[in-house]
Amino acid sequence: MIRSNVVLVGFMGTGKSTVGTLAAARLGWSFVDSDAWIVQKSGMSIPELFAERGEAEFRRLETEAIRELLSGKGCVLATGGGAVLSAENRELMKEGGLVVALTASKEAIIERVQGDTNRPLLQGGVEERVTALLEARKGAYDFAEVKIDTERLSPEEVAERIVAAIQ
């Protein structure tokens, strides 16, 4: 049976958006992103939203985004790295499609997110922040049915594995 959607989860910098775009193109599905939905809905950038309305409001919108974006069929959804922390979100994801976790080592993640100003949780010392968040989120992505290590594969190869996993 072909599952209705693909849901990509994983820490910041594991390549959810890049790989999701490629996998969607291969499947002939649409690519959607919960952060992009939130930006459109709130009319604010993610850093503005965190600063002006707080993380709790961002998380509320994130659940709304996941619910809405998984209500149909035929999409590849890239979720934010912290979306898995909510049990409600995890349920919505499991019900909504095949959950695929992308992984990478701490070193690779730090390299990929270095200098990024669009991720509020990483401001004030990327290495320290990534280290602390990885520790705090240990095991948080384990509920995914499929896990793909993105470090020794090209984004195209990761996308290929996702397509294979859903068929």
Residues that bind ligand S3P (CB under 6 A): 12, 16, 35, 46, 80-82, 119-121
Nearest-CB residue for ligand S3P: 80
d(CA 99, CA 35): 17
16 labeled binding residue? yes
- For 40, 114, 153, the CA distances from 124, given in Å and listed in that order, are 26, 11, 30
β-pairing, 146-149 with 30-33?
A: unpaired
90 labeled binding residue? no
> Least distance (Å) from ligand S3P to the CB of residue 167?
26
> Least distance (Å) from ligand S3P to the CB of residue 99?
15
Q: Which of 16, 90 has the CB closer to ligand S3P? A: 16
d(CA 119, CA 124): 11
Q: Which of 28, 125 has the CB closer to ligand S3P? A: 125
Q: Which of 28, 135 has the CB closer to ligand S3P? A: 135
142 labeled binding residue? no
112 labeled binding residue? no
d(CA 117, CA 98): 31
81 labeled binding residue? yes
Retrieve residue 166's tokens: 């859903």
d(CA 94, CA 46): 25
Q: Which of 80, 97 has the CB closer to ligand S3P? A: 80
Count of alpha carbons within 13 angstroms of residue 127, beta-carbon side: 1
Binding residues: 13-18, 35, 59, 81, 119, 137
Binding residues for Mg(2+): 17
